[in-house]
Amino acid sequence: MSDITVTTWSLEQTSPADLRPATAPDGEVRIVRSEVPSPEFSRFLYASVGGDIRWTDRLSWTYEQWQAYLARPGVETWVAHDRGTPAGYVELEPQDDGVVEIAYFGLIPAFRGRRIGGHLLSYGAARAWDLAARWPERAETKRVWLHTCSKDGEHAMDNYLRRGFTLFDTKVEAEADVAAPGPWPGARAA
């Protein structure tokens, strides 16, 4: 197996005023919080959004690992729906000292390029900033951060910068070049 060079960029907002919301897309796009922790649904979102861009770190998670992660206070999954169909998601993971990570964010391939991504990222970042209002045991948010890499979609970095995130770290590492797994075992990548 050969290696590929992967650049990972970490970006942040340090104030809610940093957020520059995108315009809502045309049509019937709604964003709803998935309030019932569901390993099946979360794995579906993860595999469907990340299947063609080599998201593999959670594919081996057991049901119990998914359940334990999703049950943590403050972990939230916000799902964009286009006319009732899941189009993508943003997953928030609170950390210590008022820090919230946008752990995962993206769209199912069929929904990319339709201006849903900027709207979903805007909404997710706003929910990261007001997370303590829904989880009183969590500290007020002081920082929202995320990372993206050269394996992600070609418009990912531009979307983050346009939403008001600023770069604070860059790493370049060699990784094993794995085939894109597709959204389910045996599916071919788009």
143-159 pLDDT, tens digit per residue, is: 999 999 988 888 899 99
Give CA separation, 9 vs 5, 124, 149, 186, in Å: 13, 19, 6, 31
- Single out the residue of 156, 62, 154 nearest to residue 102, CA to CA: 156
Question: What's the pLDDT at 176?
Answer: 83
How confident is the model at residue 184, as a pLDDT? 58
> Of the given ranges (46-50, 53-57, 142-146), which has the lowest mean pLDDT?
53-57
Model confidence pLDDT, tens digit, residues 58-101:
989 999 999 999 999 999 999 999 999 999 999 999 999 999 99
Three-class HEC string of 85-139 = EEEEEEEEEECHHHEEEEEEEEECHHHCCCCHHHHHHHHHHHHHHCHHHHCCCCC
Q: Is the pLDDT of residue 161 over 90?
A: yes
150: DSSP letter: T
- Look at residue 187 and tell me whether its pLDDT is greater than 70: no
Q: pLDDT tier at 1 (50, 70, 90 boundaries)?
A: low
Confidence of residue 2 (pLDDT cuts 50, 70, 90): confident
Share of the chain above pLDDT 70, in %: 94
In 3D, which of 167, 130, 131 has the Cα closest to residue 146? 167
What the chain holds in terms of domains, given with CATH numbers, is: 3-176 (3.40.630.30)
- Checking if the pLDDT of 190 tops 70, the result is no
Q: What is the pLDDT of residue 96?
A: 94
- What residue type is 161 in one-letter code? L
Q: What is the mean pLDDT of the chain?
A: 92
